[in-house]
Amino acid sequence: MSSSGLRDSHIQLNEDGSLRHFLTIDGLSQSLLTEIMETAERFIDFGQRKIKKAPLLRGYTIVNLFFEPSTRTRTTFEIAAKRLSADVINLSAQRSSTSKGETLLDTARNLQAMHADMLIVRDSHAGAAHLIATHLNNQLQVVNAGDGRHAHPTQAMLDMFTIRQHKPDFSKLAVAIVGDVLHSRVARSQIQALVILGVPDIRVIGPNTLIPTDVESLGVTAHTSMDTGLDNVDVVIMLRLQRERMTGQLIASEQEYFKTWGLTEERMAAANKDAIVMHPGPINRGLEISSSMADSSKSLILPQVTNGIAIRMSVLSMVMSGAEGAGE
């Protein structure tokens, strides 16, 4: 999980520090992450309004360019863009020209020729969003909706926003990230955000086969025991077991995995009494988390989804605002 060389901070920021693209958490400042969350606060109640619209992106065209299947992420990006009054087009690999041999950059350039203003890109290859942002000379804004095992910055920010609603002082928190850390772009982005926001105690928990050998270089401690890993933590973030990315036999069986690393109410007793439980989804009940735990009062899994819309509204509005400022 060491740095992949995709250092995006100089690409995704304008000279004044505002967002030009949103590609990764890595290299961003605490003040910018805080600004993203504070901007999201303005949008959190939009779902309760009779008219769920703001005119901030009226006249802009945003394209969801998804080369990996997704329901939650694509839908929340679409809702976020439409609530900001943007025109939204959804493209998937199955019906795009890439299935006919066109390259990713050719697809992006064609969309640019159609005067699209922003691409929201999800791809199984690390660096896909970075590649587009680098080659299109900032004429098209790019937001990373997940690239390979590299990054998922908006998911990390909605997770930070959810934590902040319940545990506002990051400097006093102990956070445990549990499960398939090895294959998780979400975990990488979460760790980067937690470090930037000043969390002093970040733990990853899971079997040795699913914990990167260099993970402690990111500023975390590794645990293979749920009992010790969850001891006195304030936040527990469960990860999906990403079987589609696995090569070889990395776990003995799903039953054994749940028995040893699944989150149950009994295991949760090791955490602090007011600890919260999160999961980026989709959840696998009886594999990563028990149904009773997923549906408990400690669970913030559904509020995370709601918060995802507000955070994505925040990011989209800030990126387009940064683009306008850079063009002045």
- Predicted confidence at residue 159, as pLDDT, reads 98
- Predicted confidence at residue 23, as pLDDT, reads 97
- Predicted confidence at residue 246, as pLDDT, reads 45
CA distance 40 to 222: 32
Task: Select from 3.40.50.720, 3.40.50.1370, 3.30.1300.10, 3.60.15.10 the CATH code of 153-300.
Answer: 3.40.50.1370
Quick count: other Cβ atoms within 10 Å of Cβ 33?
22
Token reading at 128:
């896909």
Token reading at 97:
């020209």
Asked if 188 and 8 touch (Cβ cutoff 8 Å), the reply is no
- Predicted confidence at residue 51, as pLDDT, reads 86
Asked if 313 and 161 touch (Cβ cutoff 8 Å), the reply is no
CA distance 289 to 239: 9
Query: Which has the closest alpha carbon to 280: 70, 82, 67, 31?
Result: 70
Amino acid, single-letter form, for residue 167? K
pLDDT tens, residue order, the chain (328 aa): 544 444 556 799 999 999 999 999 999 999 999 999 999 999 999 888 888 899 999 999 999 999 888 889 999 999 999 999 999 999 876 555 555 557 889 999 999 999 999 999 999 899 999 999 999 867 799 999 999 889 999 999 999 999 999 999 999 999 999 999 998 999 999 999 999 999 999 999 999 999 999 999 999 999 999 999 999 999 999 999 875 544 545 676 888 989 999 999 999 999 999 999 999 988 999 999 999 999 999 999 999 999 999 999 999 999 999 887 765 5
Asked if 106 and 130 touch (Cβ cutoff 8 Å), the reply is no
Q: Domain 5-151+306-327: give its CATH superfamily.
A: Aspartate/ornithine carbamoyltransferase (3.40.50.1370)
CA distance 200 to 31: 18
Domain range list for the chain:
5-151+306-327, 153-300
- Predicted confidence at residue 9, as pLDDT, reads 60
- Predicted confidence at residue 101, as pLDDT, reads 54
Token reading at 279:
């999961």
Token reading at 314:
């925040």
The pTM assigned to this predicted structure is 0.92
Q: List b or e across 121-131, with b for residues whose CB sees 16 or more CB atoms inside 10 angstroms.
A: bbbeebbbbbb
Q: What ranges make up the beta strands (E) of 165-243?
A: 174-178, 201-205, 221-223, 235-238
Asked if 62 and 88 touch (Cβ cutoff 8 Å), the reply is yes
Cα–Cα distances (Å) from 298 to 186, 267, 304, in that order, read 21, 13, 13
Report strand pairing: 61-66 vs 235-238: unpaired
Per the listing, tokens 């000379």 go with 137
Domains 5-151+306-327 and 153-300 share a fold: yes
